[in-house]
Amino acid sequence: MLVPFHLYEPATLTAVQDLLLRYGPGARVLAGGTDLLPNLERRRVCLQAVLALPALPELRGVQTAGDGRLRLGALVTLAELAASPLLRAYWPILADTAAQMATPQVRHLATLGGNLCAGLPAADLVVVLLALDALIEIQGLDGSYTLSLDQWLAPWGVPRLQSGELVRAVHVLPFTGHAAYQRFGVRAAADVVLANVAVRIPADRDGVRIVVGAHGLRPARAAAAETMLANGAAAPVVAEAAAVWACLPDDRRASRAYRQALVRVLVLRALASRAEVA
């Protein structure tokens, strides 16, 4: 049973921010609710107020700007990402990743912003967006500002939001080259993955990225493996470096050694299956 809380449906971002300031840590915004509501039910989180995010244009939409930059609103659902013709044509890694996540019912509710803010160590979109060097657009108290996603994710995985702030959107800059994502869970659907990996290889090899999920409490870049790949090392050598470096959990779902073996295989698969991003 849920502990009673005040449910607000503010109509503007200013009203959301006023309520966040009024309640402090006792309030959280609600997007799709697929993470927050189960956590409230299990009493992992107890709140005085839940603030439903308004479906404002600045929180929605899958668009490209004149410079080719992709902007994804925080309230875009996984189903919208998976079905977007723009993503299917130019950013297939994002559409394909969203299509693999959760279940159809969850994908129709769950949002990009919720995936970024839930603090899940292996959140699929966080792994991919880190590999794409995405920027995060924050609604601050004095207007919006952007930060690199890598900087924004604190070492322990909890996003850096000051009191009264929320995520507005994600931006991805265009690049020419290849990007790929690989995940492994015991079940094909509705399972927390045991390991996941994203790679990005620009055509000029400047800015190679290899990101491993569930590294400590957050996904992280395997910097030494990236340098090896940029310098032309063979895929098995790169995969071994990423697997040895990764600080993976050892728990009842899988041993660290098993997860390391998965990372090795997933890096190899990602390097072999990479799709072109023009």
Region 192-221 residues binding ligand FAD, contact defined as CB under 6 A: none
Of 33 and 202, which has the nearer Cβ to ligand FAD? 33
Instruction: Round to whole Å and give the CA distance between 245 and 211.
Output: 11
Q: Which is nearer to ligand FAD, 137 or 240 (CB)?
A: 137
Instruction: Tell me which stretch binds ligand FAD (CB under 6 A): 2-10, 84-92, 97-105, 198-206.
Output: 97-105
Distance of CA 238 to CAs 76, 206, 224, Å? 34, 16, 9
**Binding residue count for ligand FAD, defined by CB under 6 A:** 29
From 17-25, 33-41, 150-158, 241-249, give the range in contact with ligand FAD by CB under 6 A. Answer: 33-41
- Comparing CA positions, the residue from 138, 130, 184 lying closest to residue 161 is 138
Alpha-carbon distance values, 108 to 18, 80, 120, 187 (Å) = 29, 8, 19, 20
Q: Which of 16, 32, 98, 215 binds ligand FAD (CB under 6 A)?
A: 32
Cβ distance to ligand FAD smaller for residue 36 or 179:
36
Q: Which of 70, 95, 134, 167 binds ligand FAD (CB under 6 A)?
A: 167
Interface residue with ligand FAD among 23, 28, 121, 179 (CB under 6 A) is 28
CB 131 within 8 A of CB 97: no
CB within 8 Å of 4: residues ≥ 6 apart: none
Window 98 to 157, contacts with ligand FAD (CB under 6 A):
101-103, 106, 109-111, 113-115, 117-118, 120, 123-124
Interface pick for ligand FAD out of 35, 80, 137, 240 (rule CB under 6 A): 35
CA atoms of 149 and 219, how far apart (whole Å)? 11
Q: Is residue 36 at the binding interface for ligand FAD, with CB under 6 A as the rule?
A: yes
* 102 dihedral zone (left: phi>0; alpha: psi -120 to 50; beta): left
Residue with tokens 């809380």, as numbered in its chain: 5
The DSSP secondary structure of 225-274, one letter per residue, reads: HHHHHHTT--HHHHHHHHHHH-----BTTB-HHHHHHHHHHHHHHHHHH-
What would the x/- binding string for ligand FAD be over residues 67 to 86, using CB under 6 A? -------x------------
Interface residues with ligand FAD (CB under 6 A) are: 28-36, 38, 74, 101-103, 106, 109-111, 113-115, 117-118, 120, 123-124, 166-167, 190
